[in-house]
Amino acid sequence: MSARPSRTSRVAFSFLTNSIFFSSFLSAALAQDDSTKLRDCLTSTSILGSLATFSDAPNWANVTSPWALRFNPEPAAVVTPRTRDEVTAALACAVDAGINVSALNGGHSYGAYGLGGVDGALVINMQRFTETTFDAATGLFTYGGGSRVGPAATWLWENHGRHFPHVRANWVGLSGSSIGGGFGTTSRFLGTPMDNLDSVEVMLYNGTIVTASKVENPDLFFVIQGAGSSYGIVLSLTTRTWKPEYSIVTNFTISLGAVDLDTGVQALMDIQDWAMTEAPDTFALRWQLAGEWNGSGYFYGNPEDFDVLFASLTLRLPSTTTTTVRTADFWAMENFAAPLLNGTADTFPPRSMYLQALVLRSDQPFTFESAKALYQHTTLAFNRTDLTKFGFLDLWGGVSRDVKDDAQAMVYSTNQWLVRWEGRLANGLSEWPADGIEYMQAGFRPFQEQLRKEGVPLRGFVNYRDTELTLDEWSVRLYGENFEKMKRIKSDLDPLGTFTTHAQSIPSS
Ligand SMILES: Cc1cc2nc3c(=O)[nH]c(=O)nc-3n(C[C@H](O)[C@H](O)[C@H](O)COP(=O)(O)OP(=O)(O)OC[C@H]3O[C@@H](n4cnc5c(N)ncnc54)[C@H](O)[C@@H]3O)c2cc1C
Ligand SMILES: *[C@@H]1O[C@H](CO)[C@@H](O)[C@H](O)[C@H]1NC(C)=O
Ligand SMILES: *[C@@H]1O[C@H](CO)[C@@H](O)[C@H](O)[C@H]1NC(C)=O
Ligand SMILES: *[C@@H]1O[C@H](CO)[C@@H](O)[C@H](O)[C@H]1NC(C)=O
Ligand SMILES: *[C@@H]1O[C@H](CO)[C@@H](O)[C@H](O)[C@H]1NC(C)=O
Ligand SMILES: *[C@@H]1O[C@H](CO)[C@@H](O)[C@H](O)[C@H]1NC(C)=O
Ligand SMILES: *[C@@H]1O[C@H](CO)[C@@H](O)[C@H](O)[C@H]1NC(C)=O
Ligand SMILES: *[C@@H]1O[C@H](CO)[C@@H](O)[C@H](O)[C@H]1NC(C)=O
């Protein structure tokens, strides 16, 4: 844990250096007042008090430690309720004290939004809400709002031999990742985790519990799909499930070898053309953006069809291309795609990083020029020693062809590629470099400029949010024309703004 300046030292700092000392002193004093009020309320009953942690507790650093280490929000308190009534009681204390609330699930938000994203939130840690039930008649799987990917996916497989689309990391939260879209190896043919939600149960700021689905309370269901944290606490989620059609999954790697930029870019264009004309939805591909000209993927269709299908792709690629192909049973492959899915600890330790992500749609996919601008100015230009580079292009497409932008808050109709470019603090360093954000943005800018030239609107992906965007940027990229409706729903369902915490919370209209 890096050291965290205490509240007092922050105030002292403002006193010495800040001409707006008085107003910041005043707001700090008011915030202090509110947290005292919150603490008094939370500790007024022994039960709630025993579930709450405050900044003077010895394990405070532990319970407030983010996955995304570039951020370090200081909550007002963390409560870990066991029952719905305890969530209601904690919410009532927060509303009464005028403190905003953030639900915490897996804690893997790239902006530490589960911890509030900014200082001063009451964090409701949902880790005790992990109940799982399966309804054999409908194939619907219900899990608690504090479930993580690995344990829930393992439970469903072990007990019912079924799968639901999920992200590729065992310790990510299932609420957090599903309300932000989610993309995994089966998402091209089964849809995203969000697509597969049948209904959710949400507690509003006043303790009222609402079931929301396409037919019941559809406005709430609409906003949960893309911006759930701004509207309430998701208590449980119900998803559709799927039984593998083939017990064997094929996986593969493709490596172009040491080709030059133009050859690499042309190969990507050929892959794109193949993906958009010939690839079945059951074909998953992740192409590297950082590192070598490589890619890897999975095929969930009939294993007997793989060789012919794969050959129709590889014959388009340069003669230097090498491939490897393997098969394994479905569950073994699940544990390869999301390492240690059936494990008891996080496979991906916390990191200090900054990512930018953009989505291209099938009507305006990569051009040679945009792909070239991307590779040339990101991975090939990268020359830092204090950062390491990471990035990939996930082939989307598939059933997203049926998604409508106005059917849920997050817009993702006909997504074709999910492009991610990331810088990570190099091993052994602890301080994110002052010019790190600007450096990573500068490398990504020529790609964006080329897209603008081609009339391609910039679009994002909620789970891979760019934390450094302005409201005008993120609202359009993530929610498009839905943003006004989302603001109206915010005023209706969260009139006090209780669930407004992080910088990309939905404002009221
Ligand atoms: C190692 C790693 C791998 C990843 N892999 C993928 C991937 O393959 N595909 C993909 O799409 N994404 C992936 N992600 C991104 C991930 O899906 C998002 O970061 C997601 O927001 C994390 O959810 P969480 O519950 O772990 O995080 P948290 O920080 O706990 O929550 C994220 C957000 O959801 C809100 N929230 C959480 N629980 C609730 C609830 N019960 N009610 C209301 N709001 C709630 C929080 O308030 C916060 O705003 C990955 C992230 C990491 C760190
Ligand atoms: C908190 O401590 C526990 C027990 O030592 C450890 O397993 C866990 O990883 C820690 N959590 C964080 C977020 O540091
Ligand atoms: C998951 O791991 C546990 C403990 O190692 C083991 O008993 C169980 O069989 C595993 N389940 C699956 C589906 O692999
Ligand atoms: C395929 O997956 C298996 C595990 O199921 C793994 O051991 C192997 O390295 C992978 N091979 C390729 C070519 O992706
Ligand atoms: C790229 O592929 C080559 C050959 O298969 C392999 O040796 C290398 O590790 C791969 N690199 C990455 C970054 O995947
Ligand atoms: C790194 O790249 C940047 C921008 O491309 C350039 O301005 C800088 O001089 C390079 N630094 C080194 C050490 O090569
Ligand atoms: C709680 O708030 C919602 C949304 O504003 C409202 O519809 C509902 O009637 C309220 N419940 C109670 C018990 O006041
Ligand atoms: C709390 O919510 C209010 C109303 O939405 C908002 O104006 C304020 O900025 C929030 N405060 C914090 C600390 O997030």
The pLDDT of residue 24: 58
- Give the ligand whose atoms come closest to the C-alpha of residue 161: 3
pLDDT averaged over the chain? Answer: 95
Q: Give the domain CATH number at 321.
A: 3.40.462.20
Neighbours of 109 (CB within 10 A): 27
Residue nearest to atom 8 of ligand 4 (CA): 326
> What whole-number distance in Å separates Cα of residue 179 and Cα of residue 108?
13
Do 330 and 209 fall within a single domain? no
Do 414 and 500 fall within a single domain? no
Confirm if 409 and 226 have CB atoms less than 8 A apart.
yes
Q: pTM of the prediction? A: 0.94
The pLDDT of residue 31: 74
Do 390 and 499 fall within a single domain? no
Confirm if 256 and 321 have CB atoms less than 8 A apart.
yes
The pLDDT of residue 33: 85
Q: How many CA atoms lie within 13 A of 175 on its CB side?
A: 32
Confirm if 496 and 95 have CB atoms less than 8 A apart.
yes
> What whole-number distance in Å separates Cα of residue 454 and Cα of residue 15?
50
Confirm if 462 and 181 have CB atoms less than 8 A apart.
yes
The pLDDT of residue 23: 56
The pLDDT of residue 266: 98
Share of the chain above pLDDT 90, in %: 93
Across the beta sheet with 283-288, the strand order is 322-329, 248-255, 294-299, 283-288, 387-395, 415-425, 353-361
Angle at 123 between CA 500 and CA 212, to 5 degrees: 60
- Structure tokens belonging to residue 132: 């799982």
- pLDDT for 22 beyond 80: no
Do 487 and 457 fall within a single domain? no
Q: What is the mean pLDDT of residues 357-381?
A: 98
Residue nearest to atom 13 of ligand 3 (CA): 158
* Tokens 């490398």 found at: 443
Do 369 and 501 fall within a single domain? no
Q: What is the mean pLDDT of residues 288-300?
A: 97
DSSP 506: P
Do 403 and 492 fall within a single domain? no
Do 368 and 406 fall within a single domain? yes
Question: In this structure, is residue 193 part of a structural domain?
Answer: no
Question: In this structure, is residue 278 part of a structural domain?
Answer: yes
Question: In this structure, is residue 175 part of a structural domain?
Answer: no
Question: Strand, coil or helix: what is 271?
Answer: helix
Neighbours of 466 (CB within 10 A): 25
Do 420 and 495 fall within a single domain? no
The pLDDT of residue 228: 98
* Tokens 């963390």 found at: 78
- Give the ligand whose atoms come closest to the C-alpha of residue 298: 4
Which atom of ligand 8 is nearest to 502's Cα?
14
Q: Give the domain CATH number at 74.
A: 3.30.465.10
Residues of the domain holding 366: 246-468
List of E strands, 136-257: 140-144, 197-203, 209-213, 233-240, 248-255
Q: pLDDT class for 398, splitting at 50, 70, 90?
A: very high
Do 363 and 316 fall within a single domain? yes
Q: Which residues line ligand 2 (CB under 6 A)?
A: 62, 65
- Structure tokens belonging to residue 373: 């601008």
Q: pLDDT class for 383, splitting at 50, 70, 90?
A: very high
Tell me which of 202, 205, 206 to substitute to probe ligand 7's pocket, judged by most ligand atoms within 8 Å of the beta carbon.
Answer: 206
Question: In this structure, is residue 281 part of a structural domain?
Answer: yes
The torsion angles phi and psi of 39, rounded to 5 degrees, stand at -65, -45
Question: Strand, coil or helix: what is 301?
Answer: coil
Ligand 6 geometric centre to CA of 369 (Å): 23
Q: pLDDT class for 11, splitting at 50, 70, 90?
A: very low
- Structure tokens belonging to residue 266: 């042309």
- pLDDT for 25 beyond 70: no
Question: In this structure, is residue 396 part of a structural domain?
Answer: yes
List for the chain the helix, strand, coil content (%; round to 5). Answer: 40, 20, 40
Do 503 and 384 fall within a single domain? no
Q: pLDDT class for 6, splitting at 50, 70, 90?
A: very low
Which atom of ligand 5 is nearest to 255's Cα?
2
The DSSP-derived string for 333-360 is HHHHHTTTTT-SS-SS--B-EEEEEEEE
In sign, the C-alpha dihedral spanning 159, 163, 169, 175 is negative
| Nearest by Cα to 301 from 337, 241, 249, 240 | 249
- Structure tokens belonging to residue 505: 């919370």
- Structure tokens belonging to residue 376: 């040339």
Residue nearest to atom 2 of ligand 3 (CA): 342
Using a 6 Å cutoff on CB, does residue 50 contact ligand 6?
Answer: no
> What whole-number distance in Å separates Cα of residue 91 and Cα of residue 209?
12
Question: In this structure, is residue 6 part of a structural domain?
Answer: yes
> What whole-number distance in Å separates Cα of residue 407 and Cα of residue 21?
47
Confirm if 387 and 438 have CB atoms less than 8 A apart.
no
Residue nearest to atom 13 of ligand 6 (CA): 383
Residue bearing the bigger pLDDT, 291 or 335: 335
Q: pLDDT class for 7, splitting at 50, 70, 90?
A: very low
> What whole-number distance in Å separates Cα of residue 415 and Cα of residue 33?
47
- Give the ligand whose atoms come closest to the C-alpha of residue 207: 7
- Give the ligand whose atoms come closest to the C-alpha of residue 341: 3
Question: In this structure, is residue 509 part of a structural domain?
Answer: yes
> What whole-number distance in Å separates Cα of residue 366 and Cα of residue 362?
9
Residue bearing the bigger pLDDT, 403 or 29: 403
Pairing of strands 248-255, 140-144: unpaired
Confirm if 90 and 203 have CB atoms less than 8 A apart.
no
The pLDDT of residue 17: 43
Q: 64-96, pLDDT tens digit by residue?
A: 999 999 999 999 999 999 999 999 999 999 999
The pLDDT of residue 10: 37
> What whole-number distance in Å separates Cα of residue 320 and Cα of residue 322?
7
What is the Cα 432 distance to its own chain's centre?
A: 21
Using a 6 Å cutoff on CB, does residue 460 contact ligand 1?
Answer: no
Q: 252-293, pLDDT tens digit by residue?
A: 999 999 999 999 999 999 999 999 999 999 999 999 999 899
Query: What is the total count of domains within the chain?
Result: 2
Do 339 and 262 fall within a single domain? yes
> What whole-number distance in Å separates Cα of residue 73 and Cα of residue 114?
10
Question: Strand, coil or helix: what is 132?
Answer: strand
Do 211 and 358 fall within a single domain? no
Question: In this structure, is residue 43 part of a structural domain?
Answer: yes
